[in-house]
Structures are given as structure tokens and as C-alpha cells.
DNA sequence: CGTTCGATGCACT
DNA sequence: GTGCATCGAACGT
């Protein structure tokens, strides 16, 4: 399969990692099967000076993974309903991460469909569109928080795929720091959240 | 097509 | 008690 990304990949400036992750493959192995998708949309959250970053209030029990070494997962529950998955970047003690916002489904679409909506028809391009949707499709919950992305059941691989040209824009869903264009995405890919209809 | 709004849990003030 | 790095059903146009 693909080569698992080494820790050095994550130990770089967060914006660099956010763009480098586009085209890489997020993989989650579970007892029910292995599901995976190509990353087509990310957002950077950088440091205590970024008001939208969870590290803005300073160190707390919840955001502790952000202050830890790079290459680990930071998962949390949002709006009481959705799990969101980040990858920790930069050096230990420098709180920053990249939020995975959308995937193009690759492996085990059937399993992802079952997890997303057993009773409803979900078109493939919408399976992993949006950060809450992709975690549900891959079966990512709080149990995956703090996992080592270089050696655990949750990892990111380089399969040599080419996602296409990327664009930068304001991050979605936040009410502060709209000036910082720290959302990186493949505009032509229909799996990107907030994308227009059709490809 | 567009916008609004309720669901739902927990970290933090 | 307040406010979310969301989603999709239920409206209105």
C-alpha cells in the first residue's frame, strides 16, 4: 500500500503541513474493516495567538495534545454531536494543528456508507464532505484521540496520488480571525465542503 | 435554489 | 450559564 508519513513530515510549519497533506490518504483500521480517503481539504490552527485555535486560552486538559510532539491525533467532540480530527504539527511545546475537513473516499466505501447512514442513501461524493462527516465515515471517535499517526491503527499514507491544484481561503465555521486564509482545498474536487453542486 | 434552526455534550468562565 | 473548528431537515422563494 502507501508509505506511512514519518514524524518529520509533521514537524514543519503548520501551513506547509496543511498543503502537503492534500493528496495524502487518511486510513483507519478497525475490527469492522479498513476505511480510507484522500485528503482534499484542510485548515491550519496555529498557536495561542490564533483566536480560533484551541490553544488560545493557554494549556488546558482538553488541548494538551496540541502542546505535545507532532504526528499525533487531536480528536474532540464538537457541538455535542460531531468528532473532529486534527493532526498535531510543529515542535513539542508549540501548539498547532491541521484540521482534516474533507476526504475523497477510496477504500471500503460500503463500510463508510453503512457508518454514515444505514437507513439512507448517501452519494459517494458526500460521504466524507465536512469534518464531522468524515470522522463518522471512518469510525473516528474520542477513542482515537492522542493516537500516534506514524504507528497506530490511525495513520496517513502517501500513495503517490495527485489531488490537483490547491487554493487558500478563510477558514469555515469560525467567527473570529476571518482575515487569515488558512483553509487549503482542491476547488475542483466535489468532495470539498461548501463545494458547488456537480463536479 | 436559498436560509434558518434544533439537536446535543462538554470545556471553560 | 455560555458558546462552540457541524449537520441536515424543514422551511421560504
Round and report the angstrom distance from CA (A88) to C1' (C8).
30
- Rounded to the nearest 5 degrees, what angle is found at the Cα of A84, between the Cα atoms of A96 and A52? 45
Chain segment A87-132, per-residue pLDDT in tens: 999 999 999 999 999 999 999 999 999 999 877 788 899 999 999 9
Answer for A193: CB within 7 Å of strand C: yes
Residue A195 has what pLDDT?
Answer: 55
pTM over 0.75: yes
Chain segment A55-77, per-residue pLDDT in tens: 999 999 999 999 999 999 999 99
Nearest nucleotide by C1' position to the A64 CA atom: B11
Q: What percentage of chain A has pLDDT greater than the value 90?
A: 89
Q: How confident is the model at residue A175 (pLDDT cuts 50, 70, 90)?
A: confident
Answer for A131: CB within 7 Å of strand C: yes
Round and report the angstrom distance from CA (A153) to C1' (B2).
41
Amino acid at each position: 500500500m502507501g508509505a506511512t508519513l514519518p514524524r518529520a513530515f509533521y514537524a514543519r510549519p503548520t501551513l506547509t503541513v496543511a498543503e502537503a497533506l492534500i493528496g495524502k490518504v487518511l486510513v483507519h483500521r478497525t475490527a469492522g474493516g479498513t476505511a480510507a480517503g484522500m485528503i482534499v481539504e484542510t485548515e491550519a490552527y496555529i498557536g495561542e495567538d490564533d483566536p480560533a485555535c484551541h490553544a488560545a486560552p493557554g494549556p488546558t486538559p482538553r488541548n494538551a495534545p496540541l502542546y505535545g510532539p507532532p504526528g499525533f491525533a487531536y480528536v474532540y467532540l464538537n457541538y455535542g454531536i460531531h468528532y473532529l480530527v486534527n493532526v498535531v504539527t510543529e515542535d513539542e511545546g508549540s501548539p498547532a494543528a491541521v484540521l482534516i475537513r474533507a476526504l475523497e473516499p477510496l477504500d471500503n466505501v460500503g463500510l463508510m456508507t453503512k457508518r454514515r447512514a444505514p437507513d439512507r442513501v448517501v452519494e459517494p461524493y458526500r460521504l466524507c464532505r465536512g469534518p464531522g462527516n468524515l470522522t463518522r465515515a471512518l469510525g473516528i471517535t474520542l477513542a482515537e484521540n492522542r493516537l500516534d499517526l506514524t504507528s497506530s491503527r490511525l495513520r496517513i499514507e502517501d500513495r503517490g496520488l495527485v489531488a490537483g491544484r490547491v487554493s487558500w481561503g478563510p477558514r469555515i465555521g469560525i467567527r473570529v480571525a476571518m482575515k487569515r486564509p488558512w483553509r487549503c482545498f482542491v476547488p475542483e474536487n466535489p468532495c470539498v465542503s461548501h463545494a458547488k453542486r456537480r463536479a
